[in-house]
């Protein structure tokens, strides 16, 4: 199915969940509110015409000028060979959203990275801890306003 057909099907079956959509260009995607994410993702995975069974990536992007953190989910379908993106905007102070690791198991580590690097809290996540930085690190390094601490365990950070 082309991106346009996928988005038409979504808008027909899940009216009200889709806020906006982009069907042409390099990255066709739909934009949803955080509350509708789990319903949309379960439908995307289970509907026989769509069958998005592979979550390729979850990316968190920090937009301080819009005061939001945007999560972008990349989905592809192995049987039907089509792809779609799903984007969610979260508030920059205290971003939290439902975890989709119940829908795709791959989400578990991607969401741990979003927590570690951006500070996004995922509700009902089976293993919410840092994945790249040490466990006792403070701060979220990929935020635009991140400042390094002076040192860690005796090793200085800025030489």
Partner 1 sequence: MALIEGKLEPGLVTDGIDYILNWARKRSIFPMTFGIACCAIEMMAVGASRFDLDRFGAGAFRATPRQSDLMIVAGTVTFKMAERLRRLWEQMAEPRYVMAMGSCAISGGPYHKHGYHVVKGVDRVVPVDVYVPGCPPRPEALIEALMRLQEKISTHTIARKEDR
Nearer Cβ to partner 1 (91/151): 151
Strand (E) positions, 26-123?
29-32, 54-63, 68-76, 83-91, 96-98, 121-123
Half-sphere exposure for 84 (CA within 13 Å, toward CB): 27
Nearer Cβ to partner 1 (16/155): 155
**Residue pair 34/91 in contact by the 8 Å Cβ criterion:** no
Report in angstroms how near the CB of residue 36 gets to partner 1 at its nearest: 36
Element containing residue 109 per DSSP (H, E): helix 107-118
Report in angstroms how near the CB of residue 153 gets to partner 1 at its nearest: 7
Find the angle CA(43)-CA(119)-CA(41) to the nearest 5 degrees: 0
Report in angstroms how near the CB of residue 141 gets to partner 1 at its nearest: 6
Nearer Cβ to partner 1 (43/152): 152
What is the contact surface with partner 1 in residues (CB under 8 A)?
132-134, 141, 148, 152-153, 155-157, 159
Report in angstroms how near the CB of residue 143 gets to partner 1 at its nearest: 12
């Amino acid at each position: 199915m082309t991106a346009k057909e996928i988005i038409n099907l979504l808008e027909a079956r899940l009216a009200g969940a889709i806020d906006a959509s982009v069907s042409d260009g390099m990255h066709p995607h739909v934009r949803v509110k955080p509350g509708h994410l789990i319903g949309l993702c379960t439908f995307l995975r289970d509907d026989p015409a769509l069958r998005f069974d592979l979550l390729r990536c979850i990316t968190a992007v920090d937009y301080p000028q819009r005061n939001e953190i945007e999560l972008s989910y990349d989905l592809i379908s192995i049987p039907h060979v089509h792809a779609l993106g799903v984007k969610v905007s979260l508030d920059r102070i205290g971003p939290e959203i439902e975890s989709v690791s119940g829908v795709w198991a791959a989400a578990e580590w991607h969401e741990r990275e979003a927590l570690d690097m951006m500070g996004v809290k995922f509700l009902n996540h089976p293993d919410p801890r840092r994945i790249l930085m040490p466990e006792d690190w403070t701060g979220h390094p990929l935020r635009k306003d991140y400042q390094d601490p002076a040192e860690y365990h005796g090793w200085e950070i800025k030489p």
